[in-house]
Amino acid sequence: MIGGYGAAPAPDASEGITGMTDWAQLDHAYGTAEDVPGLLDEAARDPRGAVWGELWSRLCHQGTVYPASHAALPALTRIARQYPPGERQMAVVLAGNIVASSDQPYGDEDSHETHAADVAELRHLTEEALDDPSLADDPDTYVHLLQALLSFEGVEVWSEELEGLTDGEYAVACPACESDNYVAIGPYGFFSTTDSMYMNEGAAGKVPLRPAEPSALEGVARRLHDRALADGHPDVATKLTFVFGRANCAECDAVFDVAEAVADR
């Protein structure tokens, strides 16, 4: 989740938030979704309130989505639409996580097909949110919004895995020896290690990463890097060169492509 501010004026409720959905016939993480309309109505009155934590827990619990999750997309679109760019971050990021999730134990819904109009509008609303000047000092929210944008665009892998830029690590398997490697990208440095407690001073086996040259980046990597620079987030751009760079396995010293290891895990 992303951090909160004070409540904004309630949006215009003339068209309603939850529509005609029979929520009692749908499930979320804790059972029947009959409580979702009330939570969405409350969220519509406060785009940064604590109620968003309850919605996340029910609709995208640890990345898992449910029938009620997809059904909530039209309401999340309406909430995002009715607020200015700097106030819609919770709505679009939650929607982005729902659309991107590949963990669907109760079905295999593709929101790009079942909610195409909402996804298209959410993409536009997220682009506007990314232009909000308040993000200048909030790189984590910027990354969350970038990830949501990729989700609405249907970009695989990085619509879920860009989260590592804010978490500060990727846990991957070495493609040569299959040892678990922790690829640190952030406050503790830029290295690979097999020591899960690498944040401690006595951690062993830290092997420096090999960042990609920005000019060598291609596809989504080049696009994300260039956009981060253009949007005034050079630290995010630097981290991306490590994500799309190479690492040495801290166990067998084999060299592997970090992004490919992330995609394979």
Express each pLDDT in 113-133 by its tens digit: 999 999 999 999 999 999 999
In a domain, 92, yes or no: yes
CB 192 within 8 A of CB 173: no
Q: What is the pLDDT of residue 203?
A: 65
Count of domains observed in the chain? 2
Which pLDDT does position 174 carry in this prediction?
A: 97
DSSP 3-state of 103: strand
Please report the pLDDT score of residue 106 as a whole number: 82
Same domain for 172 and 64?
no
Closest to 104 (Cα-Cα) out of 149, 168, 59, 57 = 59
- Do 250 and 182 fall into the same domain? yes
User: Low-confidence residues of the chain, pLDDT below 70?
Assistant: 1-19, 202-203
User: What does the pLDDT read at residue 122?
Assistant: 98
Examine residue 238 and state whether it is found in any structural domain, yes or no: yes
Range of the domain at 104: 24-160
43 and 130 both lie in a single domain = yes
Confidence (pLDDT) at 108: 83
Residues 188, 155 share a domain: no
**Secondary structure (H, E, C), 235-254:** HHHHHHHHHCCEEECCCCCC
pLDDT at 19: 67
Cα separation, 91 vs 75, in Å, equals 9
